Amino acid sequence: MAIAPGGSENVCYRHPDRQSFVTCQRCSRTICPACQTQAAVGVHCPECVREARGSAPRSALPVAARLRSLSDQPVVTWGIIAVCVVVYVLQLLPGSAVTQDLLYYPPYTLTEPWRMITAIFVHSQTSFLHILLNMVSLYLFGPIVERLLGRVRYLTLYLLSGLGGSVAVLLIAPDTPVVGASGAIFGLLGAFFVIARRLGGNSSQILIVIVINLGIGFLPGTNIAWQAHLGGLVTGAAVALVFLLTRRTSQKTVQIVGVLGIFVALIGLTILGVRLL
């Protein structure tokens, strides 16, 4: 640090009553110990410290870190959960017709085909456990599959699985009105099983989960549309297989064609089901 020679000027410029022999390394003004900020070489006065901080370039690292953190979040899963919860609240409002307007009933397929998708965002008004169990399952498995596939593929998988569940209801139980996200969630389970199996991971645990949950639907008195579970499971597994077989960047077009092929197949089965009504 710089040492000022003795004399009347050897007082702190901010505190004239305090003698000091130390000067700021940048502006050479005398500063007392209370005004000194240690620098790489010597000390700086408060004004020079503020000036240096103001002119220093801002680091982009914190912003980049926040962006990376946001990109890692399963926002599609959180979004689906939020939509389901909002719809459920609307269902509970006095005089609400949300359930009747959005549920899927096979005889409505020809005139209101969108119900095959909207039904996966509606849940039973008389059973809070219905939405609770579905949302817990989505919370547990959704983020895993979303991070494995990416947001766009994940959303495609979810919607196609929901559609596959509705198609199965149309073909197997055409007199059954259905609501609930379980068909789409079974699609996630099927996809996760295929991915784990194909990549050499441990698939036995997820297989047990699938068998138990699928089997519950066959128990008498459960009032569960196992047809939707089965349709969603098969569709989700098929979509995941397409994704796995076309993982390379050069296969993007093939992947899109493969997914569209599954969608067209579901539409074809829907047309068949409508004709059989």
**Phi and psi (nearest 5°) for 38?**
-65, 130
Catalytic residue among 44, 123, 130, 229: 229
Structure tokens at 46: 């408060």
Element (H, E) at 38: strand 37-38
Active site residue 166: no
How far apart, in whole angstroms, are the C-alpha atoms of residue 169 and residue 171?
Answer: 5
Q: Which residue has the tokens 């459960």?
A: 222
CB 149 within 8 A of CB 157: yes
Q: Quick check: is 229 catalytic?
A: yes
Type and span of the H or E element at 131:
helix 128-149
The rounded distance, in Å, linking the Cα atoms of 155 and 228 is 18
Catalytic one of 182, 203, 204, 250: 182
- Residues in contact with 106: Cβ distance below 8 Å, sequence separation at least 6, in sequence order: 169, 170, 173, 174, 175, 176, 273, 277
- Residues forming the active site: 182, 229
